[in-house]
Amino acid sequence: MTSIAADSARHEEFNDNHRHLTVARKKPGGRHFAARWSVIALSLAAVGLQVASLFQPWWWIKLYAPQYPKGLKMVISLTGVTGDVKEVDILNHYIGMATMEKAAAVERQLAGYGIAFLAIAIVVVALLAGKRLNKLLAVVGFVFPFAFLADSFYWMYRFGHTLNPEAPIRLPPFTPQLFGNGKIGQFMTFAQPSVGFWLAVAAFVVLLAAAFARSRVCAGCAKKGECGAICRDGFVGPKAGAAS
């Protein structure tokens, strides 16, 4: 009995003096943070490309006819139309088409604000989105050039299908060609993208790469099982990628 009591006392003494050591958790390494910051760098590069596109022409259209052997050229940007606009408006008057200043007037006024909104959206998604929303980076990049094309086609269709019936020259409804060669009455037309549009496409490609890189980072994150729509610690926060 004495032996049992002594063993019990030693056991209690062992428990009293037992120290629980904190298990050291592996901290994210330099490569981990470099991968995360590369996503941010790509996102900011895409924002820069989109902002640059605001100051460049997006499209140009040229019209050819016997009386205009050198052609008439219109240059379309996000903020307006330049080039031989007056001459084209005079010709459009004869077929009952509206003047160029009436095309996308609201869109031109809001273009700068639209790019600012997209820039903010890209930064927010890059910094705060969880793994389920990684693809939003590519979606935001795709929306920009696609919206321009869709809006341009809408105005081309609207102008060609709302001709003034009292115009001197009557033409059947038409949609001016947005790509390549076309024909309007006796005029041959040619249209193609310009620098601004290709900058927007480049921004989309960059954001596609950022979304892919971000998905790989999230796949290797220690908190991937807990992550949802929002990155709780921030994509590049001080606790980013560290185990709980």
| 108 has a pLDDT exceeding 80 | yes
The pLDDT score that the predictor gives to residue 20 is 47
| CATH class as words, domain 35-219 | mainly alpha
Evaluated on CA atoms 170, 172, 178, 181, the torsion sign reads negative
Query: Whole-model pTM?
Result: 0.81
pLDDT number for residue 31: 64
* pLDDT value for 4: 47
**Amino acid at the residue 214:** R
Burial 112-139 (b: 16+ CB within 10 A, else e): eebbeebbebbeebbeebbbebbebbbe
If one counts every other C-beta atom within 10 angstroms of the C-beta of residue 223, the result is: 18
Buried b (16+ CB within 10 A) or exposed e, 201-211: bbbbebbbbbb
Q: Give domain limits for the chain.
A: 35-219
Q: State mean pLDDT over 67-79.
A: 93
Q: Residue 26: is its pLDDT beyond 50?
A: no
Q: Residues 228-232: what's their mean pLDDT?
A: 77
Interatomic CA distance for residues 55 and 79, integer angstroms: 9
Q: Distance between CA atoms of 183 and 43, rounded to whole angstroms?
A: 41
Longest dimension (CA), the chain: 123
